[in-house]
Chains A and B, each alone.
Chain A
Amino acid sequence: MNLTLHVWRQKDVATPGQMVRYDAPNVSEHMSFLEMLDVVNEGLILKGDEPIAFEHDCREGICGSCGFMINGIAHGGFKNTTVCQLHMRHFEDGDEVFIEPWRATAFPVMKDLIVDRSAFDRIIASGGYVSVSTGSAPDGNALPIRKQDSDLAMDAAACIGCGACVASCPNAAAALFTGAKISHLAHLPQGQPERKERSLRMVRQMNAELFGNCTNIGECEATCPKGIPIEVIASMNGDFLAASWQERPPVEIAGAG
């Protein structure tokens, strides 16, 4: 099949970019979306042009490196699918395809389709440490956890930090990402002593990174390649509320001891 691509080209973070039209002839339906771009890039390199820069690593939908907007939907809009797992059989001959990077102040475009997502790393880092016993391997089942809780923690931990939630959100909010990270640990017995402060720190860091606010629209949930539900946002909201209520100034001299 032959496609027409409209791709966002941007030299670097400081230079304004624009959409550029490319022809993608002889695209095989067996290709993944990234393989299609690889072929287009081969053509650009042969012509002496700069290839289209995009992030990718595992190409099996688990690393969270790839991701951009395809026709106005993060990762192209197929359920639980990253761009690398999106196959060209979903497109038809003659289709026009718009390809744009995630857009958010917190995600500056570095080049073409590559954005800097280190704001996500700073949100995770702001959560601080998790108290876990180290040393010899713990006994199996020594730390009891309800099946329900371990399932919920695992569902939230499926987040690969691709940034599609921010990209899909009309407010460029990182509530689904931060909610997933907070909710993931909140359901586990490890790190319970830090739970409240963690939710305060991570929400405040999310705000400091200039992500927008959540308006409970649900676009994030719909485009999340890991199908993380907005229930994790409610979980974050609840933890933040409780932690804010109980937050108190540090005392000079501790009473105990």
Chain B
Amino acid sequence: MASAALDSKLHRTLRFYEATNGKKTVMALTGAALWGFVIIHLLGNLQVFLGPDKLDKYGEALRATGALLWVARGGLLLCVVLHITAALQLMALKAKARPQPYVKKVATTSTYASRTMYWSGPVILGFIIFHLMHFTWGVPGIHPDFVDGAVHANLVKGLSQPLAAVLYLTAMSMLLFHLYHGIWSMFQTMGLSHPRYTPLVKKAAAGIAIALAGGNIAIVVSVLLGIVK
């Protein structure tokens, strides 16, 4: 068995990342950044309820930031890449750590959300790619009638497709589970646990996850019901 000596030729950052704890820290920090994006993205989107002009103007304002927008996009992409890379490496380790499965294994107290992180993650990734093709790039065939800059009209037309609406609702429910476990779990990974505060963190995580997924679902449902036109 390899011994884990302290002296190593590896650079200290790589040495940190080499450990499972290092990878988990990267997942927690990038997860926190992506969670921040989900909040801002929802706040932006909720302007859809303030009338058609608001969302179009918000879109223009975002584009007007120019280089800053590309820095934000680059940062988010980096977070996504790091988050997924660490997840894949840990998944590979998981497979190596128990190659022979149990004949019978029962989960006791763990939550559905915690056990399905490796499923909800890829679903969200697939959804993000679809979402970009749908509303950012307006790929013909994915979006029925995409007009560059007409954010509000694109949203209403795009979400009026029943299949797309179902995809959005499915992805948002997976996001809810992923966020719930992710948000409280990042505190644990960063070493923050307390018998008094951790139960509150879990409750807050559930509330925040429901609010974030629910906010997005409200937009889809409002379009389907014709509240937002």
* Interface residues in chain A, defined as those with a beta carbon under 8 Å from any beta carbon in chain B: 6, 8, 19, 69, 71-73, 77, 98, 100, 103-106, 119, 122, 126, 168, 170-173, 197, 200-201, 203-219, 221-223, 229-231, 233-242, 244, 247, 250
Contact B109 A222 (CB under 8 A): yes
Q: Report how far A211 CA is from B4 CA in the complex, Å.
A: 14
Q: Report how far A216 CA is from B223 CA in the complex, Å.
A: 38
Contact B117 A215 (CB under 8 A): yes
Contact A213 B188 (CB under 8 A): no
Q: Does B65 contact A (CB under 8 A)?
A: no
Instruction: Decide: A98 near B104, CB < 8 A? Known: A104-B98, A213-B94, A241-B21.
Output: yes
* Interface residues in chain B, defined as those with a beta carbon under 8 Å from any beta carbon in chain A: 1-4, 6-7, 12, 15-16, 18-25, 90, 93-94, 96-111, 114-115, 117, 181, 184-185, 187-195, 198
Instruction: Decide: A216 near B19, CB < 8 A? Known: A100-B104, A231-B195.
Output: no
Contact A72 B19 (CB under 8 A): no
Select B94's contact among A72, A197, A212, beta carbons within 8 Å.
A212
In order of increasing CB-CB distance, the 10 nearest A-B pairs are A238-B191, A234-B193, A204-B4, A212-B97, A72-B106, A213-B20, A172-B97, A72-B104, A172-B98, A222-B109
Contact A205 B192 (CB under 8 A): no
* Nearest B-chain residue to A234, judged by Cβ: B193
A198–chain B nearest beta-carbon distance, Å: 10
Residues of A within 8 A of B108 (CB): 73, 77, 168, 219, 222-223
Number of residue pairs spanning A and B whose beta carbons lie under 8 angstroms apart: 164
Residues of B within 8 A of A72 (CB): 102, 104-106
Residues of B within 8 A of A229 (CB): 195
Can you list 16 A-B contacts with CB-CB less than 8 angstroms, sorted by A residue number?
A8-B103, A77-B106, A100-B102, A103-B98, A103-B101, A103-B102, A126-B3, A171-B98, A173-B97, A203-B21, A214-B24, A217-B114, A219-B107, A221-B109, A222-B110, A237-B24
Contact B97 A240 (CB under 8 A): no
Contact A205 B97 (CB under 8 A): no
* Nearest B-chain residue to A239, judged by Cβ: B191
* Nearest B-chain residue to A122, judged by Cβ: B1
Residues of A within 8 A of B7 (CB): 250
Residues of A within 8 A of B4 (CB): 126, 201, 204-205, 207-208
Contact B97 A216 (CB under 8 A): no
Contact A215 B105 (CB under 8 A): no
Instruction: Decide: A213 near B110, CB < 8 A? Known: A8-B103, A234-B193, A240-B19.
Output: no
B153–chain A nearest beta-carbon distance, Å: 42
Residues of B within 8 A of A201 (CB): 4, 6
* Nearest B-chain residue to A73, judged by Cβ: B106
Residues of B within 8 A of A237 (CB): 21, 24-25, 188-191
Residues of B within 8 A of A173 (CB): 20, 97
Contact B25 A241 (CB under 8 A): yes
Q: Report how far A204 CA is from B184 CA in the complex, Å.
A: 25
Contact A207 B94 (CB under 8 A): no
Select B93's contact among A8, A119, A212, beta carbons within 8 Å.
A212
Select B3's contact among A205, A218, A222, A233, beta carbons within 8 Å.
A205
Contact A230 B193 (CB under 8 A): yes
Q: Report how far A104 CA is from B90 CA in the complex, Å.
A: 15
Contact A19 B93 (CB under 8 A): no
Contact B103 A100 (CB under 8 A): yes
Residues of A within 8 A of B93 (CB): 171, 210, 212-213
B215–chain A nearest beta-carbon distance, Å: 26
Contact A218 B6 (CB under 8 A): no
Residues of B within 8 A of A209 (CB): 1
Instruction: Decide: A171 near B25, CB < 8 A? Known: A230-B188, A237-B188.
Output: no
Residues of B within 8 A of A8 (CB): 103
Residues of A within 8 A of B18 (CB): 207
Contact A69 B102 (CB under 8 A): yes
